Amino acid sequence: MGCTQSTQQHEEDLSVTERVMGGRRGIDKSERIHSKSEKEKIAAKRSKALAQAADDKTPPKLNDAGHLVAEEVVKRIMGSVQSKEAILGDVKSGNGEDLIHVRYAALSQRGYYPNDPHKENQDDYYICGRKFGAGEGDAFFAVFDGHGDKGHDCARFAKNRLPSILAAKIKKQRAALNAKKIKTMTENKQEKPKNAFHPSSWPYLDENQYQDVCRQAHIQCNNEMHDEKKVKDFLSGTTAISVGFHAGRMTVSNVGDSRAVLGYRVGGVGLEGTPAEEEKKEISSEGDSELVDATGVKYEPGSIIAIPLSDDQTPYRRDERKRLEKAGARIRTIDQLEGRKPIDIDENVDDFNLGVDIDEEGDMPRVYCQDHDYPGTAFSRSLGDSIAEDIGVNGEPEILTKRVTKGDEILVIASDGVFEFLTNQRMIDICAACDDPLHACTKLLEASYEQWLNYELRTDDITCIVLFLQSGKADDIAEVSRIMNKAPKSPKMKSISLRLEQIDSKA
């Protein structure tokens, strides 16, 4: 899967990257796109390992507080053994500013449930660090968080099928654009360039075209999951949060309540460190470098801020509640369902911003059929969940695209095991204090696990992919501001159940 450049300019760009980033350009064999036979061997090997693990019913070792001892925690962690590197972006242009230098790593920690200590990890992730969909500078990263009795099967199915479907659609679309280009050149009697039919010469998809194939891929994956007899998705499914790199842009597709968060350096100073005071003054004097959020807060040049690239799709969101209710769902917390709290809901209540607020009560609103106490999903979209789909819980992704620029330094793609008790800014701060993506992944797992122990008797599966980015492309403050301020913020609110209780007390 390595990307070998044939021109002198590209070789020079690679040599610069090697000096800056340590010279490791290879990727692990587990991160390659395998042939069908290789995939079958890998699947068989994994199934054997899982079967052996399932047969081992030895109770895990616990400390006096009832928590896993350190050696048991380590046994539950899988993922990268070292950070990997890649060069993404428009590698054909010969312009160094069009290249994105990336380091990345991923870790996943199996949760611990006292009543089911051997429960399988229902999180999964996918990494293709380069040449995704035959694109020389393309990559694809995704995290899947399964739920329900067969959630692990759903997550694994999505991991295996979604990237394959998307890669095929990208290749087909780009090939069609190339055929159209060749036809026009032939009609105009223009000389065709060398390797005109090679994928490296194919035109890039524009923003809308790439988003369209992402949407199609998610919907097709969802339909295939319903049809797959080996995957029982009646009351099980998975989230899917992914980031595809193509033509110097990153496109985030989100289904469910996993999350992608960008660490953006105001002023685009770089990972080496914050700017000197003189540089700060120079940056702040530039009108187009001033970044202001929706509340009027101005960010200090050189500071690194968390910018959510996805919105959790849950009944906390007013627009999602209305969409679900229109489809025939009823929205209740467990206390409301069991009659311990009133049911009246004020639809004018502001959205609960899960990236800023922490739901300390834990009794989140869930999605139910009108006359039944199922499915009870805490999210409003997913892949799978065929019963819930009848009441609006569908697999259509929300998609956001951003051009990768100088200020984009950190990208975290994670399941809710990471951010259940960590805010977006806290996640980015943890990563910014690390000098390596694998180190950042380790620290995120440690911080998340610690918070789970503070709030719960159990710990959820915890999975994250961390990317460190370097780009020479100039920042677009208008684009950053648009993405930052696309969602309303309500940091004073604790939880929707608390708000409902306050509303009812006034009635």
DSSP string, 383-421: EE-HHHHTTT-B-PPEEEEEE--TTEEEEEEE-HHHHSS
Percent of the chain with pLDDT over 70: 75
Q: Note whether 409 and 263 are within 8 A (CB).
A: yes
Q: Which of 173, 229, 162 is nearest to 202 (CA)?
A: 173
Query: Which pLDDT value is given to residue 495?
Result: 34
Taking 3-state DSSP, the helix, strand and coil percentages for the chain, each rounded to the nearest 5, stand at: 35, 20, 40
Query: Which pLDDT value is given to residue 93?
Result: 78
444, pLDDT greater than 90: yes
Please tell me the least confidently modeled range out of 243-247, 289-293, 477-481.
Answer: 289-293
Element (H, E) at 14: helix 8-21
Query: Which pLDDT value is given to residue 394?
Result: 97
6, pLDDT greater than 70: no
Query: Which pLDDT value is given to residue 43?
Result: 66
Please state the rounded mean pLDDT for residues 192-200. 84
117, pLDDT greater than 70: yes
Instruction: Give the three-state DSSP class for 254.
Output: strand
Concatenate the DSSP letters of all residues of 309-330 into one string.
SS---STTSHHHHHHHHHTT-E
Query: Which pLDDT value is given to residue 337?
Result: 80
Q: Are strands 259-265 and 304-308 parallel, antiparallel or unpaired?
A: antiparallel
Q: Note whether 12 and 6 are within 8 A (CB).
A: no
Please state the rounded mean pLDDT for residues 111-124. 95
Percent of the chain with pLDDT over 90: 63
Query: Which pLDDT value is given to residue 380?
Result: 97
Number of neighbours of residue 474 by Cβ within 10 angstroms: 13
**Between 483 and 363, the higher pLDDT residue:** 483
Q: Which of 226, 263, 232 is nearest to 408 (CA)?
A: 263
Please state the rounded mean pLDDT for residues 409-422. 96
410, pLDDT greater than 80: yes
Separation of alpha carbons 275 and 267, rounded Å = 9
Separation of alpha carbons 103 and 428, rounded Å = 16
Please tell me the least confidently modeled range out of 55-69, 126-140, 463-477.
Answer: 55-69
Q: Cβ contacts of residue 175 below 8 Å, gap of 6+?
A: 199, 202
Q: Note whether 127 and 31 are within 8 A (CB).
A: yes
77, pLDDT greater than 70: yes
147, pLDDT greater than 50: yes
Q: Which of 415, 409, 428, 421 is nearest to 467 (CA)?
A: 409
Q: Note whether 432 and 263 are within 8 A (CB).
A: yes
Query: Which pLDDT value is given to residue 36?
Result: 63
- Average model confidence (pLDDT) across the chain: 83
345, pLDDT greater than 70: no
Query: Which pLDDT value is given to residue 18?
Result: 38
359, pLDDT greater than 60: no
Query: Which pLDDT value is given to residue 492?
Result: 31
Element (H, E) at 101: strand 99-109
Question: Tokens 């990336």 appear where?
Answer: 102
321, pLDDT greater than 80: yes
The one-character DSSP state at 34 is P
Q: What token pair was written down for 81?
A: 């053994």
When pLDDT is cut at 50, 70 and 90, the band that residue 196 belongs to is confident
**Between 189 and 398, the higher pLDDT residue:** 398
pLDDT in tens, 236-290: 999 999 999 999 999 999 999 999 999 999 985 544 443 334 433 333 334 445 6
Q: Which of 451, 486, 351, 467 is nearest to 83 (CA)?
A: 467
The one-character DSSP state at 287 is G
Q: Determine the residue type at 297.
A: V
29, pLDDT greater than 50: no
Please state the rounded mean pLDDT for residues 107-121. 96
20, pLDDT greater than 70: no
452, pLDDT greater than 60: yes
Name residue 117's beta-bridge partners.
Answer: none
92-98 own/partner pairs: CB under 8 Å, 24+ apart? 92/136, 92/137, 92/200, 94/7, 94/9, 94/10, 96/13, 96/16, 96/472, 97/471, 97/472, 97/473, 98/248, 98/473
**Between 76 and 506, the higher pLDDT residue:** 76
Query: Which pLDDT value is given to residue 54?
Result: 55
Q: What are the backbone angles phi and psi of residue 224, rounded to the nearest 5°? A: -65, -35
Query: Which pLDDT value is given to residue 3?
Result: 43
When pLDDT is cut at 50, 70 and 90, the band that residue 297 belongs to is confident
Please state the rounded mean pLDDT for residues 454-473. 95
Query: Which pLDDT value is given to residue 286?
Result: 40
When pLDDT is cut at 50, 70 and 90, the band that residue 125 belongs to is very high
